[in-house]
Amino acid sequence: MRFAQLLSDSPRNAILIGLCFLVLLILPWLHLLPETSSFHLSAYWITLIGKIMALAMVALALDLVWGYAGILSLGHGLYFALGGYAFGMYLTRETAGTGLPDFMRFLSWTELPWYWAGTQHFWWAMALVVLVPGLVAFIFGYFAFRSKIKGVYFSIITQAMTYASALLFFRNETGFGGNNGFTGFTTLLGYDITASSTRAVLCFTTALALLLSYLGLRYLMSQPYGRVLGAIRDSENRLQYLGYRTLWYKLSAWVLSAVIAGIAGALYVPQVGIINPGEMNPVNSIEMAVWVAAGGRGSLIGAIVGAGTVNVIKTYFTVAYPEFWLLILGGLFVVVTIFLPNGIIGVLDRLKKEKE
């Protein structure tokens, strides 16, 4: 398949999307320009751009299971947080050096819990970023899909599991920093995590991961596998009648989605400098669904656009009018559901057809 086809079905759209990704890959390096330069981007903007791109990866992950397989998850914040915690363990160990992390010494612990073993190694931490969300998703998804739980009941269970996990991580005895979580990171692979070069590399890595995730999912959805997921969304019973074992298609998509969300969490943590149980707040997972719905589910690029648009709006309102943000978020979801069922991408497609 040609690169342009991976980006979009339309050559014009492929060029536009390609240019947008090119800009995202170039922006991080503007942070390294002298502060007197007109094109210099401050640490605030680099962090904000990197954060939004990481969240856009979560939206892509959710669009895979909701937009293509018809499985609405209200608990993807769990997989995002698990990836963040896995990488946060490495950052915490590197900051602590040969001693125990500060929060463990505060609790008078004398040794690391067994599940912290090896987390001082970067590559083991990266393996955990993939394995932990993937394993949790596999166990949960296998029993949920095997029990044929669907629709709103499945969505409620995912939200309940995320909330239960947040309560577990809030406990100091769990060994993940309790309410405060992990913070105060100083180095990454020996480099100062606040240095301009480190920030630029992290932001660039996030942009590259977002691009690869988009291209990979775009390719996968253009294959027979993607068409089977679409058939599951439209009529799973008919597909089962034809002999397809839909359990494994749904489970594989669910696990892949969780892994992408976990990687996004790992990229998010060193840029914002903190990970705590608040990331498992059910409201965060609902926001993720709003991003996908606002952008246009089932289009992949719509998930990225939706995540970017909603988070830019959130950045403004949580500073200017923080008390109204949840009301605005709820209103946005209602408006999109009733008046823009295909999201921003659907509106753009309609305008394009009208011009033609």
Give the pLDDT of residue 1: 44
Q: Could you tell me which of 91, 112, 81 has the C-alpha nearest to residue 258? A: 81
Left if phi > 0, otherwise alpha if psi is -120 to 50, otherwise beta: which for 192? beta
- Give the DSSP H/E element, type plus range, for residue 188: strand 187-188
Q: Which two tokens stand for residue 198?
A: 């480190």
Predicted structure pTM score = 0.93
What type of residue is 248?
Answer: W
Give the pLDDT of residue 4: 46
Q: How far apart, in Å, are the Cα atoms of 318 and each of 245, 287, 307, 321?
A: 45, 14, 16, 6
Give the pLDDT of residue 354: 66
The rounded distance, in Å, linking the Cα atoms of 71 and 76 is: 12
The rounded distance, in Å, linking the Cα atoms of 236 and 230 is: 9
Q: Could you tell me which of 50, 91, 47, 55 has the C-alpha nearest to residue 76? A: 55
Encode pLDDT of 267-300 as tens digits: 999 999 999 999 998 889 999 999 999 898 888 9
**Ranges under pLDDT 70 in the chain:** 1-9, 354-356
